[in-house]
Amino acid sequence: MVAIAAAIAMGCGHEGPSPTPSIIPDGRTEAVQEGFHLAEACPPGFELTDEGVCRLRNLYQQYGSLKDKGVGGLKTGLPPVRDGFAPQQIDLGRLLFFDPVLSKDSSLSCASCHRPDKGFTDGKARSEGVLGLPVGRSAPSLWNVAFQERFFWDARAATLEEQMQGPLFAADEMGNTPEQLLATLNGNAEYVRLFSEAFPDGAKGIALPQVLHAISAFETSLISLNSRYDQYAHGHHAALTQNEQDGLNVFRSFVARCAECHTPPLFTNRELAVIGTPDPDGMPFDQGAQKPTGDTDQRGAFKIPSLRNIAKTAPYMHSGRFATLREAAKFYTEGRGHAVPKGEKLKLHWHIWEPELSDRDLDLLVEFLHTLTDESLMPRIPKSLPSGSSPYTGWEDGIDKFK
């Protein structure tokens, strides 16, 4: 079946005919229907309000947080969420997200590098774009991106809309241009109809802000807040084994200090940090946030990623240097600045120190990190796409997971 789907995908240029959607496995519940119909219901996790928009509801809304920053302990509220999109916009974003028609040559969709079966990353140290070559950094997970306020590893974008124009239009990523993208979408009667349905007040024809808005709507619907850890946090202590509770205690202890930056409940405090992880052999030193800010203090600074669903998103760090969680955790106990290249002067974060974690501590940490997995609100993969392309383009080996 994988081979069949791959063959379909290969034969499916942006001008090509629509393949038979029914042979692409979906396995979920989307009804087979003629033409496309945008959902009128909100995705799981969201309430459809009387105003016709989707608002996130979750158990963390029982709690407050200091200064509304969404950092603290177990029963702490989350940071402000970006929600309030219409269900139709979210659903349209879903189609766009999986549609390779967004790339220059219809070879890659957003989902090619942000695969649902790999925690919305791609399992690669560095993602590969339309040129088939690795790009500079690893694809970050999209789970809970609705709570983020800065995007890219170097935090150079302030909104998802700004962020996604990076990969869409970078020559070595999806390689498209705004003109070609809009021409393609406006040349597709189905998309024109769907956009007018999702944006009833919009002018005639599909405009770029609508495309960005719809994809943002979909991406902010990717919510993961019901892991076994969360059940523990809300008070059901039997949800974690004793080892996992011990791992939580290592995680939040002031020896390992993980929770100081990967702070609950989001498991990031949304700041940047210079921790001095090594770049892959042969790659130049990645200056991180120094590039967009020009600030030498930010040399080697990267966004602190959320650890939710972290067990799904190997390899780890900005360039995927560490293959396993164990290796990533071990980095922190191998000496402050041990991997900083000679001659580099970095302002390493003060929590990078010499915690002397034991092998058992590291094992417990990894066990605990696995309790942060929750994919219960996984979106449905579209059965077919308005472009006729396969929603699995570029990640055909993921089809099996969604049978």
Site for other proteins in 241-280 (CB under 8 A): 245, 249-250, 252-256, 259, 263-264, 269-274
Peptide bond into 315 cis (omega under 30): yes
- Closest by CA to 147, choosing from 89, 217, 238, 82, is 82
Closest to other proteins by CB, 264 vs 320, is 264
272-274 and 301-303 strand pairing = antiparallel
Closest to other proteins by CB, 9 vs 304, is 304
308 lies in the site for other proteins, by CB under 8 A: no
Candidate residues 159, 186, 196, 231; the one interacting with other proteins per rule CB under 8 A: 231
What binding mask, one character per residue, do residues 13-42 give for other proteins by CB under 8 A, x or -? ----------------x-x---------x-
- Residue 306 Cβ vs other proteins, minimum distance, rounded to whole Å: 13
285 lies in the site for other proteins, by CB under 8 A: no
Closest to other proteins by CB, 5 vs 225, is 225
Stretch of 139-147, 167-175, 213-221, 290-298 lying at the interface with other proteins (CB under 8 A): 290-298
Stretch of 6-14, 120-128, 291-299, 386-394 lying at the interface with other proteins (CB under 8 A): 291-299
Identity of the residue numbered 223: I
Residues 365, 251 contacting (CB under 8 angstroms): yes
**Residues 6 or more apart whose Cβ sits within 8 Å of residue 352:** 275, 276, 332, 336, 337
45 lies in the site for other proteins, by CB under 8 A: yes
**Distance, C-alpha 62 to centroid of its chain:** 26
Candidate residues 162, 297, 344, 397; the one interacting with other proteins per rule CB under 8 A: 297
- Running DSSP on this structure, what letter comes out for residue 203? P
CB-count exposure of residue 342 (10 Å: 0-12, 13-18, 19+)? exposed
Residues 276, 270 contacting (CB under 8 angstroms): no
Closest to other proteins by CB, 125 vs 272, is 272
Site for other proteins in 334-353 (CB under 8 A): 336, 347-350, 352-353
Cα→Cα distances 388→18, 101, 234, 347, Å: 4, 9, 44, 50
47 lies in the site for other proteins, by CB under 8 A: yes
- Residue 248 Cβ vs other proteins, minimum distance, rounded to whole Å: 8
366 lies in the site for other proteins, by CB under 8 A: no
3 state SS of 303 = strand
193 lies in the site for other proteins, by CB under 8 A: no
Closest to other proteins by CB, 66 vs 339, is 66
For 242, other C-beta atoms within 10 Å of its C-beta total 8
Candidate residues 71, 101, 102, 365; the one interacting with other proteins per rule CB under 8 A: 71
Candidate residues 67, 342, 345, 403; the one interacting with other proteins per rule CB under 8 A: 67
Q: Which residues pair with 164 in a beta bridge?
A: none
- Distance, in Å, from the CA atom of 294 to the CA atom of 272, rounded to the nearest integer, reads 15
- Distance, in Å, from the CA atom of 126 to the CA atom of 279, rounded to the nearest integer, reads 11
